[in-house]
Amino acid sequence: MSIYRVSVHRIQGTVGYQFQNWANTYSCRPEFYFEPASVEEVRQVLELAKQRNKRVKIVGCGHSPSDIACTDDYLIRLNKLNRLLQVDTKKKQVTVEAGMVLADLNEELAKLGLALSNIGAVSDVTVGGVIGTGTHNTGIQHGILATQVVAITLLTAAGDTLECSDTVNHEIFQAVRLHLGALGVVLNVTIQCVPAFKIHLQQFPKTLTEVLNDLDTHLKQSEYFRLFWFPHTDKVTVSYADPTDKPVKTTSSWLWNYAIGYYLLEFLLWIRSIEQVKRSDKAFNFDCLFKQHVSDWSIPIMQIRPALEQLKNWLDSNPNVQAHFPVEVRFARADDILLSPCYKQDSCFINIIMYR
Ligand SMILES: Cc1cc2nc3c(=O)[nH]c(=O)nc-3n(C[C@H](O)[C@H](O)[C@H](O)COP(=O)(O)OP(=O)(O)OC[C@H]3O[C@@H](n4cnc5c(N)ncnc54)[C@H](O)[C@@H]3O)c2cc1C
């Protein structure tokens, strides 16, 4: 099918565009694909969709491992609505357009001496996208990324602009902070930042039994604590990450970056302690070079032991199932965002990756 641009109504749309998510697991061919350059153009797409009884989806960077951004009707990418709009240096808050990619935001914040207090494993994702799916990282004092959001400007299906925050349209704010792309177009997002910081990363080996027995200590010991459990074994790599004033110090991360086989990776990582100091966003991110299937389960933190034991038992009784990568266990603070996996409970995320 060929791709061509047409003028629909007053805006340019593309016919024949194929959307593919990052992992190449889902794709779609929307009837029209748009890259609006202004809010007015977004509004025109919504108006057209209403007239023709079509649904509209927004796509960020397409990093969701699901088909959540797919549609047969109209697809909008906000890559041209990606500016830093406002900086409140006193409150350490920035307002950005929702199409802004975190990699660009991290650089803008660094210039201002600011940073995001926590981000996920990649920065090739948009501000609108990360809050859409409840993106999280780790650290029991820290909520999912959406908890850093203090205000949102939403464009509703009717074409109205709605401001929402803790004090204005509070209920809508609680819903739209994790919107699943289903509540309208997120136009602008105001984010609470923190002073720029570096992170001291330390990794060291333990057994699963030891880590589960000392879980509370680990959670208190390190601000961004996580663990990697090597299925088919009792081995765990504990990862501590904490703010530091130490100078930047990096070592090669080739172990992570190359597919050297699960069992070799397991052995090398487990025997090796790693220590690095990096700018915060560089420390949170890591190179996910390989296309993968991901399932990331959120459970109440109290359930971590039975959940991992059950997973371990299931693997033991299904020897034909081979793990491809360590199971990553992360933690997040309770919040009050309506659709959050951490709604009113401190939670633990169990992340299972299988390479494609
Ligand atoms: C390699 C890799 C690593 C990852 N690491 C993590 C991790 O550490 N932690 C974690 O929690 N997740 C992680 N993810 C998942 C990722 O953070 C989320 O899927 C996130 O939503 C992707 O952002 P995106 O901009 O690509 O959004 P998309 O996938 O493009 O869209 C996600 C949803 O948001 C909607 N949307 C996007 N922008 C808007 C807008 N402006 N208005 C309305 N709706 C909108 C879309 O319609 C869709 O429903 C990872 C994904 C990959 C591929």
> What confidence tens digit (pLDDT) does each residue in 67-77 have?
999 999 999 99
The predicted-structure confidence for 272-322, as pLDDT tens digits, reads as follows: 677 899 999 999 998 877 888 999 999 999 999 999 999 999 999 998 988
Instruction: Examine the domain organization and report whether 108 and 48 are in the same domain.
Output: no
Taking CA atoms only, the protein residue closest to ligand 1 atom 35 is 181
Residues 190 and 252 occupy one common structural domain = no
How do residues 93-126 score in pLDDT, each as one tens digit? Answer: 999 999 999 999 999 999 999 999 999 999 999 9
Q: Is 54 in the same domain as 121?
A: no
Q: Give me ligand 1 centre to Cα 206, in Å.
A: 32
Say whether both 66 and 99 belong to one domain: no
What the block records as the tokens of 306 is 């039975």
Q: Tell me what pLDDT residue 258 has.
A: 45
For residue 22, report the distance from its CA to the centre of ligand 1, in Å.
10
Residue 261: the pLDDT is 57
The predicted-structure confidence for 140-178, as pLDDT tens digits, reads as follows: 999 999 999 999 999 999 999 999 999 999 999 999 999
pLDDT above 90 (res 250): no
Q: Give the count of domains, the chain.
A: 3
Residue (of 94, 125, 284) closest to 193 by Cα position: 94
45 pLDDT more than 60: yes
| Contact residues of ligand 1, CB 6 A cut-off | 22, 57-64, 68-69, 78, 98, 120-122, 125-126, 128-130, 132-133, 135-137, 179-181, 185-186, 288
Q: Percentage of the chain with pLDDT > 70? A: 93
Question: Which CATH number belongs to the domain containing residue 280 in this structure?
Answer: 3.40.462.10
Mutate to test the pocket of ligand 1, among 55, 66, 75, 133 (most ligand atoms within 8 A of CB): 133
Distance 101 CA to ligand 1 centre (A): 11
Do 220 and 275 belong together in one domain? yes
In this structure, are 36 and 168 located in the same domain?
no
| Ligand 1 center–CA 62 separation, angstroms | 7
Determine the Cα–Cα distance for residues 60 and 77; give it in Å rounded to an integer: 6
Ligand 1 center to 122 CA (angstroms) = 10
Which tops the pLDDT comparison, 6 or 39?
39
What residue owns the CA closest to ligand 1's atom 52? 63
Residue 257: band (very low, low, confident or very high) from pLDDT cuts 50, 70, 90:
very low
- The residue range of the domain holding 61 is 4-77
Q: Based on the domain organization, do 186 and 202 belong to the same domain?
A: no
Regarding whether 207 and 187 lie in a shared domain, the answer is no
Among 155, 176, 195, the domain-final residue is 195
Here the CATH number for the domain that contains residue 49 is 3.30.43.10
